[in-house]
Structure 1
Amino acid sequence: MKPRTLLATVATSLACASAFASAPDIGLSNGYFGTEWRNQMIDGANQQFQTYKNKGMADKLVVQQSGANTGQQIQDMRNMIRQKVGAIMVDANSATALNGVISQAQRSKIPVVSFDQAVSNPYATNVTVDHYKWGQRYAQWIAEQLHGKGNVVVLDGIPGHPAAEARKKAALDTFAKYPGIKVVWSGYGEWDEAKAQSVMATVIAAQPKIDAVFTEDAMALGVLRAFENANRRVPIMTGEAQKGFLTEWKKQRDAGNPMKVFVQVNPPDISRTALGIAVRLAQGRKLKPLPDNTYYFPITKTVTAENLDATLATMSDKPDSYFLGQWLSEPELDALFAQ
């Protein structure tokens, strides 16, 4: 090999090594965990991260899960700041309680991306579904199916959780517009199938007439099983784009149950979209201006009786716990940034 060629090869190798060495770490602080949705969310982030790592865009994904302990989540984020990660992603337990530690990240010039639900600190970039509109869409569909009259149960996630409270408020606000709709019970199932089934069984025993149920996530399957165990049918319900629920819905339909169901995707893979934004911010790229510094992930996938079979066919190789995925492509992510 000629000396000049050797020098060029060495220089190229050093440049590549330097690029990988300087690739940023990304922190991911998750609050509540243990549900199938959260498990898929973390798995999706880990899978997507490998793409960025292989391209030399990032080095390590540091995942910390605090559970419902907001104080622990704050400490986890402080640790990430001390570790000098390139950006912090957070699925927050609270819209306001993390504001102080987010300001600490700002002082350290570390970008923060709050995903799944928004936080109120204006420094953070929010990447989330509009949970109020999401819940409003479900409630409006129920009101229309009921023709403005009937007894409704509202079963949502974790008390005090920003997403759960926004959806619940949207449902109650919408139903309040219809004098003929009576919310006979409203409460929480903690986004857990078994918990929701237990809660719903108690509600069914106390309510002789239930015309519709507003619910989502893994709770939907629990609700359906509670009605089955009580030898009753739920005429109208919202559900979840999870294989287990969709499979049971199909079973009920094929057995002659005429219940009406509407499902819209709430993608756990929003973590992939948030990660793509966080990696780019860590590289120093600038987002185009966003209203309220928030990117509302567009929900374009829904499941109805018309496309139930086709949707299940796309999930044939997935476990029952699988939620229908949706996330931004790399070109769509790049389009959010100034060139």
Structure 2
Amino acid sequence: MSTFIKDFIERETVSRRNFLLASAAGLGSMALPMAMGRDAAMAAENPALAWSYRDRASAYWNAVVSGGENFVESLGKTKADMTSLINEGSSEKSLADIKAFLAKNSGNCAIACDANDSPNARPVVEAVKASGGYISTIWNKTDDLHPWDIGDNYVSHMTWSDEKPAEETARLLFAAMGGKGGVVHLGGIPANNPAVERLNGLKNALKDFPEIELLDAQPADWDTTKAAELMASFITRYGDKITGVHCANDNIAYGVIEALKAEGLEGTIPIVAYDGNPEAVQMVMDGTLLATVFTNPYWGGGISLALAYHAAIGTFKPSEEPHEHREFYGPTVMVTKDDAAAFKAKYIDSTPTYDWNDFWGPSNGGIVYK
């Protein structure tokens, strides 16, 4: 981490002194400029805090938001001091809610956000910059959108290198299938980066297994109900040709299991998933799932908001950081039956304590574009 703490304290002391002098001179009530014109005194004031995400019904997003809340509590605030902007899977609502939050707080905001789909990231970060707020994003953005091109207000973007872990789960699945048969893939929202990468991981593994056929790959939009309906249609269409199922996330796997159960097929077809949710880890321990992949959403949720907050108050200047601190991968851990019990004890039965000032400690290097 760069040595900016000492510089920040010195800047803060000077800024507060200048602000007090300005107030004494009758200038304290002047309107403060927005965007890049915001001065250090304004940046040092408490920014309004928010997390913009899909929904909290999902164990994954609940973990993300819980991490954000833990960071907020580390500041001596309460969970209620962080606003949840729930977009319900709508990119339009995501953008509208963020704009409303910015307007309500005159741009003095620190926001963490999953933009819901990749194209929505640009209008979101441009709205934040125009208002003078600060934002860190996760998962979804287009490859041509970079924080350093937008400026300090777009603090950082974190994603996970899903292609390799998804390939590893596919290889585990193929081994369980005996190296032959038919596999179906149930994916996420097609415009989501993780959905694309997880399907690519499956396709990469298939290159080494000529006797395994990809029967079908369709989006289930990360949704359990849609996954159950899609899997039921796959069973109708392909029947006993299906000898393995590759799921883009745990919620999808739950739907697949329900569909198999309805047909009396539960436990007869190996399944792999992604996210490392508590229910999925238990299913790995029970043998219902072969594997899942943990992306530490709790840490991701906390550190994304921490980065936006510290940039907003002036603890560090994002443009002075290397590119790998502006765009970086989060950690991934594959969970199999061999290590599921130890994993559960460490990450589920108890929550590791994180230093929210260690911005990049558990990260996995800068994002690489193909």
**Residue 226 of structure 1: how far off its partner (Å):** 2.8
- Please say if 1:96 is aligned against 2:119: yes
Cα gap change, 1:265/1:181 in structure 2, threshold over 3 Å: closer, same or farther? same
Give the corresponding residue for 1:121.
145
Mapping 1:60-99, distance limit 5 Å: 60-82=81-103, 83=105, 84-99=107-122
CA contact (8 A) 2:165 2:334 kept: no
TM-score of the pair, normalised by structure 2: 0.70
Answer yes or no: is 1:333 the counterpart of 2:368.
no
1:162 match: 193
Gaps of 5+ in 1: 1-14, 254-258, 319-324
2: CA distance, partners of 1:67 / 1:135: 26
Are the aligned partners of 2:283 and 2:289 in contact in 1 as well (CA < 8 Å)?
Answer: no
Contact 1:221 1:244 in 2 (8 A): no
Deviates more, 1:127-136 or 1:268-277: 127-136
Match of 2:327 in 1: 294
Distance 1:261 1:335, change over 3 A: closer
After superposition, where does 1:281-320 map in structure 2 within 5 Å? 281-284=311-314, 285-287=316-318, 288-291=321-324, 293-299=326-332, 301-313=333-345
Q: 1:272 to 1:234 in 2, by over 3 A?
A: farther
CA deviation digits over 1:192-232, x for unaligned, max 9? 33332332233223321222211122222332333333233
What is residue 6 of structure 1 aligned with on the other side?
none
SS of 2:84's equivalent in the other structure is strand
Relative to structure 1, the CA distance from residue 328 to residue 91 in structure 2 (aligned partners, 3 Å threshold; closer, same or farther) is farther
Aligned CA distance change for structure 1 residues 330 and 261 (closer, same or farther; 3 Å): same
- Residue deviations 1:91-127, cap 9 Å, x none? 1122123313422323444322111334543233201
Give, in angstroms, the shift of residue 263 of structure 1. 1.9
Q: Relative to 1, partners in 2 of residues 1:234 and 1:289: Cα closer, same or farther, differing over 3 Å?
A: farther
Residue 247 of structure 1: aligned partner: 282
Q: Which amino acid letter does the alignment assign opposite residue 70 of structure 1?
A: S
Q: Deviation of residue 183 (structure 1)?
A: 0.8
Secondary structure in structure 2 of the residue aligned to 1:72: helix
CA distance in 1 between counterparts of 2:51 and 2:235 reads 40
> Structure 1: how far apart are the matches of 2:129 and 2:101?
13
Question: What is the aligned-residue RMSD (CA, Å)?
Answer: 3.6
Equivalent position SS for 1:191: coil
Partners of 1:101 and 1:313 lie apart in 2 by 38
Cα distance 1:273–1:177, how it changes in 2: closer, same or farther (>3 A)?
same
Secondary structure at 1:62 match in 2: strand
Q: 1:327: Cα distance to partner?
A: 8.6
If the length of structure 1 is used for normalisation, what is the TM-score? 0.75
Instruction: Please name the residue that 1:12 is paired with.
Output: none
Instruction: Say if 2:50 is the partner of 1:27.
Output: yes
1:249: Cα distance to partner?
4.3
Give 3-state SS (helix, strand or coil) of 1:190's partner. coil
- Answering whether residue 212 of structure 2 is matched by residue 181 of structure 1, we say yes
Q: 1:91 to 1:158 in 2, by over 3 A?
A: same
1:51 maps to which residue? 74
Task: Specify the SS of the correspondent of 1:185.
Answer: strand
Q: Kindly tell me: are residues 261 and 72 of structure 1, through their superposed partners in 2, closer, same or farther at Cα, counting changes over 3 Å?
A: same
Instruction: Spell out, residue by residue over 1:214-259, the C-alpha distance to the aligned partner (whole angstroms, 9 max, x if none).
Output: 11222223323333332334443213523323334444x4xxxxx7
Q: Per the alignment, in what secondary structure is the counterpart of residue 103 of structure 1?
A: helix
Query: Aligned residue for 1:271?
Result: 301
| Aligned mates of 1:161, 1:198 — CA distance in 2 | 21
Percent identity between the aligned chains?
Answer: 19
1:3 paired residue number: none
Cα 1:167–1:177, aligned 2, differ >3 Å: closer, same or farther?
A: same
SS across alignment from 1:98: helix
Which position in structure 1 is the counterpart of 2:133? 110
Question: Following TM superposition, by how much is the alpha carbon of 1:148 offset from its aligned partner in structure 2, in angstroms?
Answer: 4.8
Native 8 Å contact 1:31 1:70 kept in 2: no
